Amino acid sequence: MNSIISTGLMAYGMSGKVFHGPFLAAHKGFKLRAVTERNQKNAEKDFTGIISYNSTEELLNDEEIELIVINTPNYTHYDYAKQALNAGKHILVEKPFTATSAQAAEIFELAESLGKKVFVYQNRRWDSDFTVVKRIIKSGELGKLSEVHLRFDRYKAAIGAKSFKEEPIAASGLQYDLGAHLLDQAISLFGNPDSFHKILGRNREHTKVDDFFSIHLSYPNSLNVFVHSNMMVVDVQPSFVLHGRNGSFIKERTDLQEEQLLKGIKPNDPGFGIEAKGKEGVLTLINENGERTKSLISSEPASYLSLFEAVYQSLVNDKPYPISQDEILKQIEILEAE
């Protein structure tokens, strides 16, 4: 593998412009060579000299490209992943990886047979809000955990324009959209659950897909983890609530990097990924005398550039990618369950 990885983007909509392009350009180990743009040609405005292909076939036939980012509509991931692997490319696939665990297993097996690597883009592991939650759990300050809540709520009463999210087709609906993030966070923290129970709901007028889900994950030693999302929440509640024998930790969601990227702030700009004052989490501890103390806990700077560094290290130095195949298979098993 070359030390500079020539990379192609399958699409240049919001995800290409916001979540992939800026980081591939910022990381010295990647060369963003080409993108597929069937209609409007916008990538050249952001990345001078980039090649804009008219079709995915042209992109996949580019012999210089070593890594393909599959950031197309959810239902296309399975087919495009197979096409890219068979074209001799490594792949980085947006969440949800596939619609079914059988499809996911097939892609992993195909990649292994071809000597290629598969990476799943679970960027929310590198959000500042989640990294501080992870730090608090690792510290052990809360003692034995009994209850953990991970929420991702919004208020979007209107049916969205992206049909692949709103029509009853493969990998559509809220659980495949935001559930893929929340389940990945839960599994990365606690491993695969012993069992799970899922509730889906439809609350927006004329919706054809789920816009509410609540999934209860049961773990050993009476640890209960709840992942939950609702598109009809006017007053958004804290997104991370942890209760343990020695205390509680509460943190609101801070979708900081996405907000900054949409404003044109780049990953290497000063202040990128740094939460503002007033966004701290609240840690409440109780001692053996029943005395309570409250502390404000700041998040450390975070960047999705760490995900691309992990991809780079895996490709160039064969280091393990932190998001394992087993974790992805369990996530999709839960998502596909009725």
pLDDT tens-digit readout, 13-49? 999 999 999 999 999 999 999 999 988 899 999 999 9
Q: Tell me the Cα Rg of the chain.
A: 20
Domain boundaries of the chain, sorted by first residue = 5-121+306-319, 128-254+268-302
User: Residue 2: CB partners within 8 Å, gap ≥ 6?
Assistant: 66
Q: Tell me what pLDDT residue 195 has.
A: 98
Q: Per the structure block, which two tokens stand in for 8?
A: 């192609």
Q: Tell me what pLDDT residue 39 has.
A: 85
| Mean pLDDT across the chain | 96
Q: Tell me what pLDDT residue 163 has.
A: 85
Candidate CATH numbers 3.40.50.1220, 3.40.50.720, 3.30.420.40, 3.40.50.2300; the one for domain 5-121+306-319: 3.40.50.720
Burial of 100 (0-12, 13-18, 19+ CB in 10 A): middle
Contact 10, 80 (CB under 8 A): yes
Residue 6 scores a pLDDT above 90: yes
Q: Tell me what pLDDT residue 177 has.
A: 96
Put residue 155 in one of left, alpha, beta given phi > 0 → left and psi -120 to 50 → alpha.
beta
Q: Per the structure block, which two tokens stand in for 43?
A: 């990538």
Q: Tell me what pLDDT residue 276 has.
A: 87
List the strands of the sheet with 292-297, edge to edge: 195-201, 212-219, 223-230, 145-151, 240-244, 247-251, 281-286, 292-297
User: Residue 327: CB partners within 8 Å, gap ≥ 6?
Assistant: 184, 187, 188, 192
- pLDDT tens for 269-316 read 999 999 988 899 999 999 999 999 999 999 999 999 999 999 999 999
CA separation for the pair 97, 100 (Å, rounded):
9
CA separation for the pair 108, 95 (Å, rounded):
15
Q: Which band of pLDDT confidence, cut at 50, 70 and 90, is reported for residue 1? A: low
254 compared with 327, residue with greater pLDDT: 327
Put residue 328 in one of left, alpha, beta given phi > 0 → left and psi -120 to 50 → alpha.
alpha
- CATH (residue range 128-254+268-302): 3.30.360.10
What is the value of pTM for the model shown? 0.96
Q: Per the structure block, which two tokens stand in for 17?
A: 């412009």
Q: Tell me what pLDDT residue 116 has.
A: 98
Contact 120, 323 (CB under 8 A): yes
- Helix (H/G/I), strand (E/B), else coil: 44: helix
Within 13 Å of residue 68, how many CA atoms lie on the same side as its CB? 27
Residue 58 scores a pLDDT above 90: yes
CA separation for the pair 190, 150 (Å, rounded):
13
Q: Tell me what pLDDT residue 286 has.
A: 97
Q: What's the Cα-to-Cα distance from 271 to each of 126, 213, 302, 305, 322, rounded to whole Å?
A: 16, 34, 10, 14, 26
CA separation for the pair 212, 161 (Å, rounded):
18
CA separation for the pair 34, 333 (Å, rounded):
34
The conformation of residue 234, written as its DSSP 8-state character, comes to S
Question: What is the β-pairing status of strands 30-36 and 247-251?
Answer: unpaired
58-97 b/e (C-beta count within 10 Å ≥ 16 → b): ebbebeebbbbbbbbbbbbbbebbbbbbebebbbbbbbbb
Contact 337, 22 (CB under 8 A): no
∠ Cα 286 228 99 (to 5°): 140
Residue 233 scores a pLDDT above 70: yes
CA separation for the pair 9, 160 (Å, rounded):
24
- pLDDT tens for 95-133 read 999 999 999 999 999 999 999 999 999 999 999 999 999
Q: Tell me what pLDDT residue 164 has.
A: 86
Same fold, 5-121+306-319 and 128-254+268-302: no
Q: Residues of the chain with pLDDT > 90: what percent? A: 92
